[in-house]
Amino acid sequence: MKRMLLVLLVSFGPPACESARDETPEGRPSEALLIAHRGASAYAPEHTLPAYRLALEQGADFIEPDLQITRDGHLIALHDLTLERTTDVRERFPDRFREEADGDDLVRRWYAMDFTLSEIRQLDAGSWFGPEFRGARIPTLGEVIELARGRAGIYPETKAPGTYSESGHQMERLLVSELERYGLDRRGAEPSTPVIVQSFSVQSLRILRDELGSDLPQTFLLSRSDAEEWTSVEGLERASEFAEGIGPARGLLDNDPGMVKRAHAAGLQVIPWTFGASDPEDHGRLKEEMARFLCVLGVDGLFTNNPDLFPRPRANLPRVGR
Ligand code: G3P
Ligand code: CA
């Protein structure tokens, strides 16, 4: 039934993906953006060069590095503050953990900020995902930029910037200076490699814009707990003071689809996260879900782990009668 409804919506409107895109105000992209979430992370280990490379091959408009900082101040692409979920750090550096309380338990955690870049380069960040990826490394932001430059955009996320500022590193400053090194620190500097910065942290986005004078487009990420404060007409107006887009958790839009119109009225793009399926049996459903968000809810792009399943409005969807 759901599938039939989608087919009807896609075949007969409303609103056509194409016309929805054509209506976007000046400054917004003319087509929906495909952002490869942690690379093509449904098929390759997240935040490794193989995952980013595959995302480029699958036609991603942007690849998404989450950022963490090494002890010696290098930006690396890594989602977690710690290394144990996605690397062999336990085996390679067995004594370099911090012991922390987790409820009633004591747990061992290996924080990226306790390791130098040269140590982090020794870690295997691929085997946890599959033996064929053994030896994949955690890349630096610079390496991600070098891979993408000229082929796609970069959508870096400042992760836990407050934690790092306590240990003396300002993530925003490091980000701007790394982008500057590649000539990508100004809006439109290299049209083949646009940069959009994202964060859950208002403070981080404000530092970038107000303190560091960055004119790069910014996306303000929203989790469930942010909805009340930021998704009203007034909240979105306030967000538009420091961001060009919002990145809501997709469930927020299911609960409140009208948010898209309100955000657009405030001049904000809407780029929800995250759309992914590792089991091929779920791929059809995922594709339908992405099409629904793009063509029915009218979002401006998506973060997806499966870039190959992104329903390109112009290329992959049936044309809509006008
Ligand atoms: O950046 C969008 C989305 O990636 C936010 O969630 O936890 O995957 O970084 P997370
Ligand atoms: Ca992210």
> Is 88 a member of any domain?
no
Cα radius of gyration (the chain): 20
Is position 72 within any domain? yes
Question: What tens digit of pLDDT does each residue of 155-176 get?
Answer: 999 999 999 998 899 999 999 9
Q: How far apart are CA 252 and CA 278, in angstroms?
A: 23
Mean pLDDT check: name the lowest of 25-29, 148-152, 259-263, 298-302: 25-29
Which helix (H) or strand (E) element contains residue 207? Answer: none
Distance CA 171, CA 69 (A): 7
CB 164 within 8 Å of CB 78: no
**Widest CA span in the chain:** 65
> Separation of 188 CA from ligand 2 center, angstroms?
22
Whether the Cβ atoms of residue 131 and residue 117 lie closer than 8 Å to each other: no
Pick from 1-10, 73-82, 84-93: least confident: 1-10
Asked whether residue 108 is assigned to any structural domain, the reply reads: no
Q: Determine phi and psi for 269, rounding to 5 degrees.
A: -70, 160
Ligand 1: residue of 34, 47, 79, 81 to mutate (most ligand atoms within 8 A of CB) is 79
**Does 37 participate in catalysis according to the annotation?**
yes
- Among 37, 59, 62, 41, CA closest to 50: 41
* Contact in structure between 270 and 246 (CB atoms under 8 Å): yes
Quote the pTM value.
Answer: 0.89
Peptide bond into 274 cis (omega under 30): yes
Q: Whose CA is nearest to atom 7 of ligand 1?
A: 79
Q: In whole angstroms, give the CA distance from residue 131 to residue 262.
A: 46
Locate all alpha helices (DSSP H) within 128-190, ordered by sequence: 141-148, 161-166, 171-181
Has residue 318 been placed in a domain? no
Ligand 1 atom with least separation from CA of 247? 2
| Residue found by looking up tokens 């306790």 in the block | 114
For residue 273, report the distance from its CA to the centre of ligand 1, in Å. Answer: 7
11 Cα–ligand 2 center, Å: 33
CA 31, CA 313: separation in Å to the nearest integer? 8
Q: Return the structure tokens found at 98.
A: 């911090």
* Percent of the chain clearing pLDDT 70 (strictly above): 88
Q: Which domain holds residue 187?
A: 2-79+139-309
More confident residue, 252 or 312: 252
Evaluate whether residue 99 is within a structural domain: no
Question: From the CA of 9, how far away is ligand 2's center (Å)?
Answer: 30
pLDDT at 313 over 50: yes
In the predicted structure, residue 319 carries a pLDDT above the cut 60: no
Q: Which helix (H) or strand (E) holds 67?
A: strand 66-69
> Are residues 248 and 259 in contact, defined by beta-carbon separation less than 8 angstroms?
yes
- Report the chain's mean pLDDT, rounded to a whole number: 90
Q: List pocket residues of ligand 1, CB cut-off 6 Å.
A: 37, 66, 79, 157, 198, 221, 247, 273-274, 303
Question: Which pLDDT does position 299 carry in this prediction?
Answer: 98
Which bound ligand lies closest to the C-alpha atom of 274? 1
DSSP 210: I
Q: Is 74 among the residues known to form the active site? A: no
104 located within any domain: no
Residue found by looking up tokens 């976007």 in the block: 24
Could you report the per-residue pLDDT of 270-294, keeping only the tens digit for each? 999 999 999 999 999 999 999 999 9
In the predicted model, is pLDDT for residue 137 greater than 90?
yes
How many residues can be counted in the chain?
322
Q: Residue with the nearest Cα to atom 2 of ligand 1?
A: 273
Residue 113 lies in a domain: no
**Domain annotation covers residue 106:** no
Report the domain count for the chain. Answer: 1
Q: What is the mean pLDDT of residues 123-150?
A: 98
Angle (deg, nearest 10), helices 2-12 and 283-291: 40
pLDDT digit string, tens, across residues 41-57: 999 999 999 999 999 99
CA distances, 93 to each of 43, 107, 190 (Å): 28, 16, 40
Position 223: which residue type? Answer: S
Point out the ligand 1 atom lying closest to the alpha carbon of residue 37.
4
* pLDDT bucket at 31, cuts 50 / 70 / 90: confident
The domain that holds 248 is classified in CATH as: 3.20.20.190
Of 47, 74, 79, 169, the active-site residue reads 79
